[in-house]
Amino acid sequence: MNYFSSNFKLGILGGGQLGKMLLYNTRKFDIYTCVLEASEAAPCRIACDEFHLGDLLDYDAVYNFGKHVDVLTIEIENVNIEALADLEKEGVKVYPSSKTLRTIQNKAKQKLFYVDHNLPTAPFSRFAYLSEIKEAINHGGLKLPFVWKVAQFGYDGQGVKIVKSIEDLEGLPKGECIAEELVPFKNELAVIVARSAAGEVKSYPVVEMEFHPEANQVEYVICPARIPEAVAKKAQEVALKTSEAYNHVGLLAVEMFQTQNDEILINEVAPRPHNSGHQTIEASYTSQFEQHIRAILGLPLGKTDSKVGGVMVNLVGAEGYTGDVVYENIAEIMKMAGVTPHIYGKKQTRPFRKMGHVTIVNEDLNEARKIAEQVKGLIKVIST
């Protein structure tokens, strides 16, 4: 198949920042790319060859879009699975497959998948309704504290809550959910595994994620993770086993906990480019975005080693600001050696909305982490 400067069409479901960063690479390779997205103000709009407006959860929108592309991929999991399954039957290549997405879309199914495939994960209970959790607590079947997670359509810290008392359940969605044992972990880690349509598999170095205490969002991603070699090896093994079990095509980001006694437990996965891989644009031989394109097209996978230590800082909307976005002090951070800002192109900010990221590369990882702290202190994402 000739993908380059040809009639080949790649379709992407979702027009957010991950799609925009995928498009850096379709532009580089001159691959004709079509995007489906519900928002006219999508970051992808400026860089694709065709932009289609449509609801990603609407069967007809996804099916009709998929009919006129050769390979279909995603930059967000929340898409209509039935449409993807029908497109596959009609010969459209869909990566990741509808089968993989059906499992991953639902946190309860995802957790059961790990149990069925002997993959390590924190103990959990599945509930059809929130009210069943209250009954389980009252009857002693469920012990506080635990982590509540909505089963369907949670993302970016939405749909996750640490429940310390029965009152903490007030105001949560009433439907299907899981209650997961609260793991007293040392570190949150992630490994991105790439698996190509031709069956080639490569993984990136283990990264360490530091989270914002209130927003439950990643604040810093540090690569390589500052962990013992034996723990890194174990994390890599778990990620590769998980990837093999899903038999996905494209990228699979495996988020994990490192427990107090250095066990590795899978938290959750994402079958697409991921926040834990943004530093690969500047710090790696092959960025996660280029690797995803290579994987879904069955091209040889690129080298996953890091060229240099990297730290990524998420730029999120400041609390107390909603409206037309203004970035303060970008010029100041650009004076610093090894600092690269990425602005996603979202015109409207709101508290904790992901608006961009900054990568800091440095031969000395501790120095990179210090600069990241300075960047975080300087840059402000506010509104007019």
Q: Which residue ranges make up the annotated binding site?
A: 107, 149, 180-183, 188, 267-268
Q: How far apart are CA 163 and CA 81, in angstroms?
A: 31
Taking the CA atoms of the chain, what radius of gyration do you get in angstroms?
21
* Greatest alpha-carbon span in the chain: 64
For residue 322, the surrounding DSSP H or E stretch is none
Q: How far apart are CA 140 and CA 135, in angstroms?
A: 8
Q: Tell me the β-bridge partners of 27.
A: none
Helix (H, G, I), strand (E, B) or coil at 153: coil
The residues, any chain, with a CB within 8 Å of residue 1's CB and separated by 6 or more, are: 8, 70, 297
Question: Which residues are part of a known binding site for ATP?
Answer: 107, 149, 180-183, 188, 267-268
Q: Tell me the β-bridge partners of 147.
A: 162, 180
Select from 48, 41, 55 the least CA-distant residue to 12. 48
The residues, any chain, with a CB within 8 Å of residue 234's CB and separated by 6 or more, are: 262, 264
Q: How far apart are CA 267 and CA 148, in angstroms?
A: 13
Q: Which parts of the chain fold into alpha helices (H)?
A: 17-29, 59-67, 81-89, 98-105, 107-116, 130-138, 229-246, 280-283, 288-296, 330-334, 365-378
User: Residue 86, Cα to own-chain centre: how many angstroms?
Assistant: 26
